[in-house]
Amino acid sequence: MVTRLAPSSRSSARFRRVERFHVRITVAGEDHGELKPDLTMEQLHEQFLEPYARGRPITVNGRTIEPSNLERLQVSRSEVPIADLIAQARARRQASGVLMLGGPSYGWQAAGLAEDVTDQYITGPPGSALRAESSPAASDAGVRRVSVPSGPGDGRSVFLVHGRNIAIASAMREFLRSLDLKVIEWEQAVGLTAEPNPYIGDILLAGMGAADGIVVLATPDDIVRLDPGLAVDADDAELIEAKQPRQNVIYEAGMAMALAPNRTLIIATPETKILSDIAGRHLAYLDDSPQARRRIVGRLQTVGLAVDDSGVEWLTTGSFGAL
């Protein structure tokens, strides 16, 4: 039986600091656009990014916007709700002492105060994903433009998926290279698409397609728990805050498992909450001990990578002591 303790105000405040995405759409011929604030990553993808990439109409605030009328789509990100940003926008307006008639709403201005991440998600015009899939090169070959992971065949190329913990990701790169493996960097994967503004999914497919193996580094970057309204009872273990990988890592791990399950290794820290769906798959737990490193070397060999563990440098290269 798990006893649920009432969270302290400090704990609750920490939990509420989650990523929120705010979308602004400028419609051709209209003075005022559409704003949709406080979206989760899933809502952002389902309601906006996926329809945009596929060239489909976007439905927002009770209206449908055709791709031909979509002049601009902006995405911003914050750790506070739009209401807090609106308060900041009002305070700035009042402090300026300038009387403005018309112009953008406070909500629109507030979304502009958040971090602009448009270029991370919008990398081409509406319908760019469909154009890539139906390109002449792909049609002539009778297959998708980017194949499933196969790599150069020497067993030494690795595509590394990681989250926000840059220090651990850098240590993992050093560790893999100490085993004479070649890590395919993100910019290399971008170049492999042969497109000036590739869709993110295409970059992932290109990187995975150029690799002999895929390593997913699952670090505990996000703090999550079940919505209390969905709990079975007050003792539901899912009500306790847990640490899990970033959503992009979960998404990319799913792609890797779907495309090349036998060539994908998930490396997690002991405190990382791992999806039950991958139980029984290639999974190794990471710490800074020689024993953990040897286990990972064995798993890398299992997924088909030709590691060189003849020396001893790999036993200490790359520090995972911060875990």
List, for residues 249-264, the tens digit of each pLDDT value: 999 998 888 888 889 9
What was the pLDDT predicted at 7?
39
What mean pLDDT do residues 26-34 have?
92
Q: Which of 25-39, 261-275, 287-301 has the lowest mean pLDDT?
A: 261-275
Name 167's Cβ contacts closer than 8 Å, sequence gap at least 6: 322
What was the pLDDT predicted at 42?
75
What was the pLDDT predicted at 43?
86
What was the pLDDT predicted at 14?
38
The band of 193, judged by pLDDT with boundaries at 50, 70 and 90, is confident
What mean pLDDT do residues 24-46 have?
90
What mean pLDDT do residues 137-149 have?
43
What mean pLDDT do residues 42-61 have?
87
What mean pLDDT do residues 23-44 have?
91
What mean pLDDT do residues 6-18 have?
40
What was the pLDDT predicted at 162?
93
Exposure pattern of 196-210 as b/e (b: 16+ CB <10 Å)?
eebbbbbbbbbbbbb
What was the pLDDT predicted at 31?
86
Higher-scoring residue by pLDDT: 149, 90: 90
What was the pLDDT predicted at 180?
95
What mean pLDDT do residues 263-270 have?
91
Alpha helices in the chain (DSSP H): 9-16, 41-44, 50-54, 82-96, 106-113, 118-121, 128-133, 136-141, 166-178, 186-192, 200-209, 247-259, 290-302
pLDDT digits (tens, 9 = 90+) for 237-246: 888 898 999 9
Q: What is the mean pLDDT of the chain?
A: 82
Return the CATH superfamily for domain 145-315.
Toll/interleukin-1 receptor homology (TIR) domain (3.40.50.10140)
What was the pLDDT predicted at 100?
59
pLDDT digits (tens, 9 = 90+) for 59-97: 999 999 999 999 999 999 999 999 999 999 889 888 876
CB-based contact 298:309 (threshold 8 Å)? no
What was the pLDDT predicted at 140?
43
pLDDT digits (tens, 9 = 90+) for 226-239: 899 998 888 888 88
DSSP secondary structure code for residue 213 in this structure: E
CB-based contact 58:46 (threshold 8 Å)? no
**Is residue 3 predicted with pLDDT exceeding 50?**
no
| Rounded Cα distance, 224 and 213, in Å | 30
What was the pLDDT predicted at 99?
59
Q: To which residue do tokens 């220090």 refer?
A: 167
What was the pLDDT predicted at 232?
86
**Is residue 175 predicted with pLDDT exceeding 60?**
yes
Q: Which of 58-62, 121-125, 136-140, 212-216 has the lowest mean pLDDT?
A: 136-140
What was the pLDDT predicted at 12?
37
What mean pLDDT do residues 37-44 have?
87
| Rounded Cα distance, 247 and 208, in Å | 18
Q: Domain-by-domain residue ranges, the chain?
A: 10-126, 145-315
CB-based contact 283:268 (threshold 8 Å)? yes
Higher-scoring residue by pLDDT: 229, 42: 229
